[in-house]
Amino acid sequence: MKSALITGVTGQDGPYLAQLLISKGYKVFGTFRRVSTPNFWRLQALGIIDKITLIPADLTDMASLLEAVTISNPDEIYNLAAQSFVESSFDQPLLTADVDGSSTTKFLEIIRHLKKDIKFYQASTSELYGTVVESPQNEKTPFVPNSPYAAAKLYAFHISRIYRHSYGIFATNGILFNHESPLRGLEFVTRKISNAVARIKLGLQNDLLLGNIEAKRDWGYAPEYVEGMWRILQHDKPEDFVIATGETHSVKEFLEAAFSEMSLNWEDYVKTDKNLMRPMDVPLLCGDASKVKEKLGWEPQTKFKELVSIMVKSDLEKWKKHLAGEMFPWDAPNFAGDRAFIKRRN
């Protein structure tokens, strides 16, 4: 039986990947970090919390990573853990550099010293393209990062490539474009919108504050993207791959689709707030996933409108159940919301 170690198993992608690997007969280990309030709702929502082995570890703590690799003795490591919110990387640039950058070297060093044949997947990102120099973006498009998050991930991208070539380690980068789902964190724009639309429809919220609604993203469906991660590690040699839909849509288009799913007009509810604008943003992302299609047979299935509909319907159902008094694992009732009492940057 193959064994896999997933870092960041409490996030959006970790549970979907764990579910996929369990279905393929893997023994799955996942790392979680100690937080003051337990944070396992996604694993509970997918019904897999007792099908995986959880190991406490923090990416800033080398000893805990060594322990996690020793306990799990994995054939494959999926390094998904990260400070993944671009905006927070402007608030906490050094933490982001450590967690999203240096931690990758920690894993690569562990593999180099302990067991060189562990296959390693690094969660790289389309955010690396930053000020895009060509569209669509593929594996050869230059990286021009626009955030501390992207700068840290750029380091992680290159160190994986460097260890691959220097030490023959099976280290790969999945350059994943934005991918969303009902398990997406509430701070990201798609889930912020789907959650707000559901609440507005049910009379629980009156308006929605957003930042740059002209930004364009290539949004796909997360459960399909984790299949791409797995295929990258099953390839006969370590290579880097773009995973994307090839379609781009603005935040405004997401708003139009999400509100019209509930027969509402977004312009009646949405306001923009300059406090929600980033010091630098990525204006447009659109991926060219032809390499992964050709070499690994991976293709996206879920189209933009369907993705929006899945997310809005999921949030509506959850709020309805909540109002009916049902108890179930879910994040939204605990969310502090946006800026009303949060002060960022002078």
Binding site for ligand NAP (CB under 6 A): 8, 10-14, 33, 35, 39, 58-60, 80-84, 99, 123, 125, 176, 178-179, 185
Here the tokens at position 42 are 């996604």
Smaller CB distance to ligand NAP: residue 150 or 200? 150
39 binds, among ligand NAP, ligand G4F, none (CB under 5 to 8 A by kind): ligand NAP
Our CB check for ligand G4F shows the closer of 110 and 128 to be 128
- Which of the stretches 36-44, 188-196, 236-244, 260-268 binds ligand G4F when contact is defined by CB under 6 A? 188-196
Which option in ligand NAP, ligand G4F, none does residue 284 bind, with CB closer than 5 to 8 A by kind?
Answer: none
Which partner, ligand G4F, ligand NAP, none, binds residue 105 by CB below 5 to 8 Å per kind? none
Instruction: Indicate the burial class of 247 (C-beta count within 10 angstroms; 0-12, 13-18, 19 or more).
Output: middle
Interface characters, 234-273, with ligand G4F (x: CB under 6 A): -----------------x----------------------
Q: DSSP 3-state helix, strand, coil percentages of the chain (rounded to 5)?
A: 45, 15, 40
- The residue within the footprint of ligand G4F, chosen from 6, 48, 86, 316 (CB under 6 A), is 86
Residue 141 falls in the annotated catalytic set:
no
Residue 10 interacts, among ligand NAP, ligand G4F, none and using kind-specific CB cut-offs from 5 to 8 Å, with ligand NAP
Which residues, other chains included, contact 337 with Cβ-Cβ below 8 Å and sequence gap of 6+?
A: none
Q: Site for ligand G4F (CB under 6 A): which residue of 276, 292, 296, 307?
A: 276
SS3 for 119? strand
Q: Which stretch binds ligand G4F (CB under 6 A): 121-129, 131-139, 224-232, 238-246?
A: 121-129
Q: 177: which DSSP letter? A: P
Which of ligand NAP, ligand G4F, none is residue 215 near (CB under 5 to 8 Å by kind)? ligand G4F
Binding to ligand G4F by residue 217, rule CB under 6 A?
yes
Q: Give catalytic status of residue 127 as yes or no.
A: yes
Query: CA 180, CA 13: separation in Å to the nearest integer?
Result: 9
Taking residue 25's Cβ as centre, other Cβ atoms within 10 Å add up to 8
**Which of 55, 8, 36 has the alpha carbon at shortest distance from 183?**
8
Q: How far apart are CA 207 and CA 210, in angstroms?
A: 10
Least distance from ligand G4F to the Cβ atom of residue 100, Å? 9
Binding site partner of 324, from ligand NAP, ligand G4F, none, Cβ cut-off 5-8 A by kind: none
- Distance set, CA 12 to CA 180, 221, 279 (Å): 8, 11, 26
**What is the residue-wise DSSP string for 47-110?**
T-GGGSEEEE--TT-HHHHHHHHHHH--SEEEE--S---HHHHHH-HHHHIIIIIIHHHHHHHH
* C-beta closer to ligand G4F: residue 110 or 175: 175
The minimum distance between CB 4 and ligand NAP, in angstroms, equals 15
Residues 6+ apart with CB under 8 A from 213: 250, 251, 252, 255, 270, 272
Strands 53-56, 270-272: pairing kind: unpaired
Q: Known catalytic residue: 256?
A: no
Summarize as ranges the residues that interact with ligand G4F (CB under 6 A).
Answer: 84, 86-87, 125-127, 177-178, 187-189, 192, 210-213, 215, 217, 251, 276, 278, 281-282, 285
Residues noted as catalytic? 125, 127, 149
